[in-house]
Amino acid sequence: MQIQISDIRRAADSIKPHVCMTPVARSATLSDKAGVPVHLKLEHHQRTGSFKIRGATNAILGLSEEQKKRGVVGVSTGNHGRGLAAAAQKAGVRCIVCMSELVPQNKIDGIKGEGAEVRTVGRSQDDAQIEVDRLVKEEGMTMLPPFDHADIIAGQGTLGLELLAQIPDLATAVIQVSGGGLISGVAAAIKAERPNVRVVGVSMERGAAMYECQRAGHPMIVEELPTLADSLGGGIGLNNAYTFEMVRMLVDELILVSEIEIAHAIRHAYWHEQQIIEGSGSVGIAALLADKIQLHGPTAVLLSGGNIDMTLHHRIVSGEDVDITQEN
Ligand SMILES: *Cc1c(COP(=O)(O)O)cnc(C)c1O
């Protein structure tokens, strides 16, 4: 089962009134360093601070009237919850977001600020999922998952259409990978239009679920670990329906970056690009700074989100190599 370019075009039409087309900015320092033009896609300036509102909006607009009346529920490390909350509020749909107690307070506040109810349960996404299942069963709400859902993937894929339109000579797209909804949609759009454009996925070394599953050749359980790239945490699901296969077919390369490289990238974005981005948003820059990707032409690096705790951000840009693994 795969998402087609026609699904992504339809998503682009339906979400257009609700999301912004975020700008692209050429990075002088990264272009100099890489020897090719490097363009940053500033998606952290999207409404709700990440691209997640694209998929969430597309999925909510695709619900039946009966489903809209009963409301939606999600389980989220933060950005999906916030995107879902904002999309639901705009559509006048009730929304409950369940999450683990490990999620940073700034993300919980962000979700409440978008008008959703938040329930914190347990120490993992799996614990939160139990509450979601109850709401679906007992209250008839619709669960919208963060990545493994056709309408969500098509919505995230609208970013791929924008990259093609904004960077006509694009050669390589560098995209974050967690559950793989984002890169599956983006790669589906890009490969349908220009199959020669390389799509490179980047995850953090600590708990890189999609990377490990692709190496193993099948979905499996990968332990979730604390990381600066907290929006990239979590597994891909043992019953993965879309993203494992789409990543296998459409993504050219998957690479990993370390915690120190992520901290350097957040710092680089601040001091050299004047951008405040969260760890997950920075892994593409991290990969370029660490020379981990071979680049052959104009390159797009997605800055996927900006929802970082500002105290943590301040420590990192002040020069501290924050080791999040010692703080939890
Ligand atoms: C969710 C998220 C990702 C990863 O998206 P997937 O579809 O799960 O791969 C990357 N960056 C940010 C900021 C996110 O919130």
What's the pLDDT tens digit per position in 42-62?
999 999 999 999 999 999 999
**Single-letter residue type at 85:** A
Cα(182) to centroid of ligand 1, in Å?
6
The CA 230 to ligand 1 mean position distance, Å, reads 9
| Percent of the chain whose pLDDT exceeds 70 | 99
How far is the CA of 234 from the CAs of 45, 180, 219, 227, 297, in angstroms? 24, 11, 13, 11, 33
Cα 176 to ligand 1 centre (Å): 6
Q: Is the C-beta atom of 219 inside 6 A of ligand 1?
A: no
Q: What is the pLDDT of residue 303?
A: 98
Is the per-residue pLDDT at 308 higher than 80? yes
Predicted confidence band at 123 (pLDDT cuts at 50, 70, 90)?
Answer: confident
- What is the arithmetic mean of pLDDT over 83-92? 96
**Whose alpha carbon is nearest atom 2 of ligand 1?**
231
Given this model, what pLDDT does residue 228 score? 96
Q: Which pLDDT does position 237 carry in this prediction?
A: 94
pLDDT for residue 278: 98
Q: Is residue 271 over pLDDT 60?
A: yes
Q: From the CA of 233, how far away is ligand 1's center (Å)?
A: 9
Q: Does domain 53-143 sit in CATH 3.30.70.3340? A: no
- Check residue 291 and give its pLDDT: 98
Residue 251, pLDDT above cutoff 80: yes
| Domain 5-46+152-326 falls under CATH 3.40.50.1100 | yes
Per-residue confidence at 156, pLDDT binned at 50, 70, 90? very high
Q: What is the pLDDT of residue 1?
A: 63
* In the chain, % of residues over pLDDT 90: 86
Cβ atoms within 10 Å of 54's Cβ, excluding its own = 30
The pLDDT value recorded for residue 108 is 85
Three-state SS at 233:
coil
Top mutation candidate among 177, 182, 246 for ligand 1, by most atoms within 8 Å of CB = 182
Report, as an integer, the average pLDDT of 297-318: 96
Q: In angstroms, rounded to a whole number, what is the distance separating the alpha carbons of residues 211 and 90?
A: 35
> Is the beta carbon of 281 within 6 A of some atom in ligand 1?
yes
Specify the ligand 1 atom closest to the Cα of 79: 15
Statement: residue 328 has pLDDT above 60: no
- Between strands 142-143 and 117-120, the pairing is unpaired
CA distance 82 to 237: 21
Q: What is the mean pLDDT of residues 85-112?
A: 89
Assign 78 a pLDDT band (cuts: 50, 70, 90): confident
Please state, rounded to an integer, the average pLDDT across all residues of the chain.
95
Q: How confident is the model at residue 129 (pLDDT cuts 50, 70, 90)?
A: confident
pLDDT attached to residue 290: 98
Cα 101 to chain centroid, rounded: 20
Cα of 32 vs centre of ligand 1, distance in Å, is: 28
Q: What is the mean pLDDT of residues 86-99?
A: 94
C-alpha to C-alpha distances, 229 to 39, 134, 164, 263, nearest whole angstrom: 21, 30, 26, 10
Write down the pLDDT at residue 324. 74
Q: What is the pLDDT of residue 128?
A: 85
CATH 3.40.50.1100 location in the chain: 5-46+152-326, 53-143
Q: Note the pLDDT of residue 107.
A: 75
- Protein residue with least CA distance to atom 13, ligand 1: 305
What's the confidence (pLDDT) of residue 322? 80
pTM comes to 0.95
The reply to whether ligand 1 has any atom less than 6 angstroms from the CB of 82 is: no
> 127 falls in which pLDDT band (50, 70, 90)?
confident
pLDDT of residue 320: 85
Alpha helix stretches (DSSP H) within 47-202? 52-61, 65-70, 79-91, 105-113, 125-139, 150-166, 181-193
**Residue 148, pLDDT above cutoff 90:** yes
pLDDT in tens, 279-305: 999 999 999 999 999 999 999 999 999
